[in-house]
Chain A
């Protein structure tokens, strides 16, 4: 069973690494991350600041643009393509279980997503190694944002899986996933807006306030609520994806 799962996972990963789109994504990611890092350094060079390079990097506009745009692109094909090509039929008549397929697709997209952040981690390590340890902050301050990226990534990738399982059309899948991802992201702003006027809405939106979460994690403050919330919602979304996937196959 484990071997079968690894076969599926390997196949899903190879789709990412064999396709030119993956390298286009990686390329733009490098540019946006590079800009983000360059600005952080430039600001520090200009004037003294209370913030570390890590904080500035993870709270810059370039960072968030890269973050939000990547999910629809990496998840659009996952299920939609199988339905469109009809390979869903060969896939699901091989001795594999539905959940193995769902998890392998989710995990492959998540691994590729984490891979996209590796270069930025390298920037910090080199920067620190060149003698500016203090500008990075403590090692906790460096690792915490990556931990948050992982759990928030799980959440958004599972949203993308759901969108892709809904349709046979990649473009439609991209649109759905883009609307869901950015829509939920902008709940953070609602969260700021209703701070005093609508306490209940404020409390609810606080759970998905990704800007806030990043702000505290990049200071090195690891909020366990986020670490529990995002993975639980991910699990829930994957279960829904599983049922949609099964339902669409049974209906064809």
Chain B
């Protein structure tokens, strides 16, 4: 659906993206992550034919975004960051206008405007001026507009920025529902959202791809260690000394409250040491109140990949 080869964009003085190559297949929901200024928006703008690349190729649905840009744009719904909308138009009027620009007309246009209003629950504001809408509604107008011509591909640049938690959940549900029919490339900073919605994650940093894989694999591969939490009463034993002897333990931190020791144990590469720790506790006659494992999250992956070079 998206094919990017050796894409480079240079601005006066600096290179926004360097030799970017990746592919997105039909039906995928891909999360496009990276710190601010990593080149996400630049990449999305090139893919949406808003501006040309300095070198390299990009194609959408088989159409080159520069040479055959009108056809590429026909297959694309692009939602820019901050959802620019015309404040002087009414919601229905805006959707009709955008639909007509995207080659819909007559009955089909009317039908699609109705469908997207329904899907994005815009019925109650359909006759309001866009300038009077709240941020959540603006976001939904933006999303409705993006899918009005049923494009094969949706590119969404931070679709949940600035929304409150319940609105974020609504938008996430909507994106998930859209993912059943559309291929989606979305950028966001909310990593929990990516773990829930995306089938694949591409992480870029300073214009280069750092990783591209499923969220599970990324978390699995990460070098940062996972964590085991242990809460025990050990009598006279000093738990840290004993735990450190278990192979695979990297670091033990202990907080003591009365007789209870709360141990935060960093272990290597998501290895699960709970059994060994339990056996140790049994052997030393410790009383265990809690023994849990925290997996590494996508956030750990993100921080690891984008900060190690700095």
Which A residues are within 8 Å of any B CB, using their own CB?
3-4, 7-8, 11, 15, 18-19, 85-90, 92-97, 249-252
Alpha-carbon distance between A15 and B93 when the two chains are bound, in angstroms: 12
With A8-B101, A93-B49: A86-B80 Cβ-Cβ less than 8 Å:
yes
Which A residue sits closest to B100, measured CB to CB?
A: A7
Q: B49, B52, B70, B84 — which one has the most chain A CB atoms within 10 A of its CB?
A: B84
Q: Are B51 and A249 in contact (CB under 8 A)?
A: yes
Question: Which B residues touch A94, using CB under 8 A?
Answer: 73, 98, 101-102
With A3-B105, A8-B101: A97-B70 Cβ-Cβ less than 8 Å:
yes
Tell me, rounded to whole Å, the shortest Cβ–Cβ distance linking B144 to chain A.
13
Q: Are A18 and B88 in contact (CB under 8 A)?
A: yes
B167 is an interface residue with CB less than 8 A from chain A: no
With A85-B84, A90-B84: A250-B101 Cβ-Cβ less than 8 Å:
no
Which B residue sits closest to A92, measured CB to CB?
A: B50
Q: Are B80 and A90 in contact (CB under 8 A)?
A: yes
**Chain B 74-102: CB-based contact to A (< 8 A → 1; otherwise 0):** 10101010101111100000000110111
With A92-B50, A95-B102: A19-B84 Cβ-Cβ less than 8 Å:
no
With A3-B100, A250-B51: A93-B73 Cβ-Cβ less than 8 Å:
yes
Question: Which A residues touch B86, using CB under 8 A?
Answer: 85, 87
Contacts A95-B73, A252-B45 known; list 4 others, CB within 8 Å. A87-B86, A89-B45, A89-B80, A94-B102
Which B residue sits closest to A89, measured CB to CB?
A: B80
Q: Are B70 and A95 in contact (CB under 8 A)?
A: yes
Alpha-carbon distance between A85 and B85 when the two chains are bound, in angstroms: 7
Q: Are B103 and A4 in contact (CB under 8 A)?
A: yes
Q: Are B50 and A7 in contact (CB under 8 A)?
A: no
User: Out of B51, B105, B145, which one reaches A90, CB within 8 Å?
Assistant: B145
Which B residues are within 8 Å of any A CB, using their own CB?
11, 45, 48-52, 70-71, 73-74, 76, 78, 80, 82, 84-88, 97-98, 100-103, 105, 145
User: Out of B50, B76, B101, B145, which one reaches A96, CB within 8 Å?
Assistant: B101
10 pairs from A and B in contact (CB 8 Å cutoff): A3-B100, A3-B103, A87-B86, A90-B80, A93-B50, A93-B80, A94-B102, A96-B101, A249-B50, A252-B51
Tell me, rounded to whole Å, the shortest Cβ–Cβ distance linking B187 to chain A.
14
Question: Which A residues touch B97, using CB under 8 A?
Answer: 7, 11
Question: Which B residues touch A251, using CB under 8 A?
Answer: 11, 51
Alpha-carbon distance between A241 and B71 when the two chains are bound, in angstroms: 25
Which B residue sits closest to A85, measured CB to CB?
A: B84
Question: Which B residues touch A89, using CB under 8 A?
Answer: 45, 50, 78, 80, 84
Alpha-carbon distance between A94 and B149 when the two chains are bound, in angstroms: 10
Which A residue sits closest to B75, measured CB to CB?
A: A95
Q: Are A86 and B82 in contact (CB under 8 A)?
A: yes
Alpha-carbon distance between A252 and B42 when the two chains are bound, in angstroms: 9
Alpha-carbon distance between A19 and B100 when the two chains are bound, in angstroms: 22
The 8 closest A-B pairs by CB, nearest first: A86-B84, A95-B73, A89-B80, A7-B100, A93-B48, A87-B84, A93-B78, A250-B51
Alpha-carbon distance between A23 and B74 when the two chains are bound, in angstroms: 37
Tell me, rounded to whole Å, the shortest Cβ–Cβ distance linking A76 to chain B.
15
Alpha-carbon distance between A86 and B52 when the two chains are bound, in angstroms: 18
Alpha-carbon distance between A95 and B103 when the two chains are bound, in angstroms: 8
Alpha-carbon distance between A34 and B86 when the two chains are bound, in angstroms: 35
Which A residue sits closest to B70, measured CB to CB?
A: A95
Question: Which B residues touch A93, using CB under 8 A?
Answer: 48-50, 73, 76, 78, 80
Question: Which B residues touch A18, using CB under 8 A?
Answer: 88
User: Out of B50, B82, B84, B101, which one reaches A95, CB within 8 Å?
Assistant: B101
Q: Are A4 and B76 in contact (CB under 8 A)?
A: no
Tell me, rounded to whole Å, the shortest Cβ–Cβ distance linking A252 to chain B.
7
Alpha-carbon distance between A137 and B70 when the two chains are bound, in angstroms: 53
Tell me, rounded to whole Å, the shortest Cβ–Cβ distance linking B158 to chain A.
13
Alpha-carbon distance between A250 and B9 when the two chains are bound, in angstroms: 11
Alpha-carbon distance between A94 and B76 when the two chains are bound, in angstroms: 8
Q: B74, B76, B101 — which one has the most chain A CB atoms within 10 A of its CB?
A: B101
Alpha-carbon distance between A171 and B163 when the two chains are bound, in angstroms: 32
Tell me, rounded to whole Å, the shortest Cβ–Cβ distance linking A136 to chain B.
41
Alpha-carbon distance between A86 and B81 when the two chains are bound, in angstroms: 9
Alpha-carbon distance between A8 and B50 when the two chains are bound, in angstroms: 18
